Amino acid sequence: MSSGELSREALLDLWSGMCLQRAAEERLETLQKQGHVTGSVYRGLGQEAGCVGAAFALRHRSDGTGDVLAQAIRAAGALFLMGGDPTDFFRQYLARATSPTGGREANVHWTDFQEGFVGPVSPLGTMIEVVAGITLSFKLRGEDRVGMVFYGDGATSTGAWHEGMSFAAARGCPLVLMVEANQYAFSTPTSRNSRLETFTAKAPGYGIGAESVDGVDVVAVHEATRAAVGRARAGEGPQMVELRYFRRRGHAQHDAQEYVPRELLEEWEQKDPLDLFRARLLERDDVSAEELEGRWNAAVERCAAAADQALSEPRPEGESALRDVYTDAHALRPWTRPPAGSELRPRPTGPWT
């Protein structure tokens, strides 16, 4: 693992970014065990270098003019780098009224185009199509911006992935595709999803560039992605980067992952991206263990405060489920739940206001 051409500050920022994802997810797991999370919890354990190293290659602006990231469920670290607030992360998982989706959607499924990220939907492959269109708009308007989309290797089997690829490649969209080759699609190993050894093999079918990279090496990920982002920005069309690593937890926390051979898990526990990066950083004369520990502790404290803040906030009023179905109309209030003071009548009561 080399440190490449990155400055000391940049390397420490990468470290902080990885710490933040790890700390946020660990705090989240605790909250779930305490019964605070009603939905599923998805860990990106072992994938932090891929998320952080890649998103670090994007231009983050907070005024709606920067690059746009489409994060995936295990890429919270990328989301945070693009301005996603850890407090919002906990609000989303804890289904708070204050969450960016008002409690209507969960986990990392939230969007902020001012910061520059768009939340995914659960059907896989869709975001390739959507970010193809986002980057098409950059091209149509002559804007110097790129889009980056994360997705698991399993998503490359969907029709949506292929349709999005067909479109983005034909239009030469400035799109960077991050394939999270983490060896399992839920319980199904890659070998049963594909005949391919590497998902970069799908790229030539679309005439686009691709590179495969060691996904636990944050510097290697960053360098490969920075090159891909540069090519996309230079007008060379979509670029693919495959992150080779391992999903060290179940699909979600309710999945005990019994289908994964014990030895495989142990092998990848030895390749923890934070451990590897810490060791590499400590080889430098200008980085101390205390400094790294300090940044880890800062991430832990930040997440604890963010989680406490989210926990203190209310769940949404049930009635707010009626809002925002259309820009100009609400859903109809159920007639069996008349507004206070009015009688029960088997008649719709008109749009709720």
Partner 1 sequence: MDLNALPEHLTKTRRGEPVTFLEAISEALVEEMVRDQDIFLMGEDIAVYGGAFKVTRGFLELFGEQRVIDTPIAEGGFTGAAAGAAHMGLRPVVEMQFMDFISPAYDVITNYIATSLYRGAGPMPLVIRGPVGGGNRGGPFHSQNVEMAFFHTPGLKIVYPSNPFDAKGLLKAAIRDDDPVIFEEHKGLYRAPDLRDVLPDEDYVVALGEARTVQEGTDLTLVTYGATVHTSVKAAETLAEEDGVSVEILDLRTLLPLDEDAIVTSVKKTGKLLVVHEDTRTGGIAGEISMRVNERAFEWLDGPILRVTAIDAPVPYSGSLEDYFLPQAEDVVSAARYLAAY
**Least distance between partner 1 and beta carbon 180 (Å):** 20
Rg (CA), the chain: 21
Residue in 107, 126, 182, 190 binding partner 1, rule: CB under 8 A: 126
Residue in 163, 211, 255, 272 binding partner 1, rule: CB under 8 A: 163
Residue in 36, 171, 271, 333 binding partner 1, rule: CB under 8 A: 171
Tokens of 251: 């699909």
If one asks whether residue 246 binds partner 1 (CB under 8 A), the answer comes out as no
How many residues form the binding site for partner 1 (CB under 8 A)? 48
- Pick 86 or 147: Cβ nearer partner 1: 147
- Helix ranges, the chain (H): 8-33, 48-55, 76-81, 86-93, 126-140, 159-171, 190-193, 218-233, 262-269, 273-282, 289-311
SS3 of 49-98: the string is HHHHHHHCCCCCCCCCCCCEEECCCCCHHHHHHCCCCHHHHHHHHCCCCC
Q: Report the distance separating Cα 100 and Cα 69, nearest Å.
A: 17
- Pick 53 or 125: Cβ nearer partner 1: 125
Residue 159 contacts residue 125 (beta carbons within 8 Å): yes
- Pick 99 or 253: Cβ nearer partner 1: 99
Stretch that binds partner 1, among 7-15, 95-103, 180-188, 214-222 (CB under 8 A): 95-103
Residue 67 contacts residue 33 (beta carbons within 8 Å): no
If one asks whether residue 185 binds partner 1 (CB under 8 A), the answer comes out as no
If one asks whether residue 119 binds partner 1 (CB under 8 A), the answer comes out as yes
Q: Report the distance separating Cα 79 and Cα 40, nearest Å.
A: 19
Residue tagged 């049963």 (tokens): 192
Helix, strand or coil for residue 205?
helix
33 CB neighbour count, 10 Å cutoff = 11
Residue in 3, 30, 40, 111 binding partner 1, rule: CB under 8 A: 111
**Least distance between partner 1 and beta carbon 37 (Å):** 19
**Least distance between partner 1 and beta carbon 61 (Å):** 14
If one asks whether residue 128 binds partner 1 (CB under 8 A), the answer comes out as yes
- Pick 286 or 326: Cβ nearer partner 1: 326
- Pick 158 or 193: Cβ nearer partner 1: 158
Residue in 5, 286, 290, 328 binding partner 1, rule: CB under 8 A: 328
Helix, strand or coil for residue 36?
coil
**Least distance between partner 1 and beta carbon 342 (Å):** 17
- Pick 104 or 271: Cβ nearer partner 1: 104
If one asks whether residue 109 binds partner 1 (CB under 8 A), the answer comes out as yes
Cα 96–chain centre separation: 20
If one asks whether residue 118 binds partner 1 (CB under 8 A), the answer comes out as yes
DSSP string computed for 340-352: TTS---SS---B-
Counting beta carbons within 10 angstroms of the beta carbon of residue 130, is it exposed (0 to 12), middle (13 to 18) or buried (19 or more)? middle
If one asks whether residue 62 binds partner 1 (CB under 8 A), the answer comes out as no
Q: Report the distance separating Cα 103 and Cα 39, nearest Å.
A: 11
Residue in 16, 32, 71, 101 binding partner 1, rule: CB under 8 A: 101
Residue in 3, 30, 40, 166 binding partner 1, rule: CB under 8 A: 166
Residue 181 contacts residue 242 (beta carbons within 8 Å): yes
Residue in 8, 144, 170, 339 binding partner 1, rule: CB under 8 A: 170
Residue in 327, 336, 342, 353 binding partner 1, rule: CB under 8 A: 327
Q: Report the distance separating Cα 86 and Cα 302, nearest Å.
A: 8
Stretch that binds partner 1, among 2-10, 22-30, 157-165, 303-311 (CB under 8 A): 157-165
Cα torsion 96, 27, 21, 71: sign:
negative
Contacts to partner 1 by CB under 8 A: 100-102, 104-105, 109-111, 113, 118-119, 121-123, 126, 128-138, 140, 159-160, 162-168, 170-171, 324-329, 331, 346-348
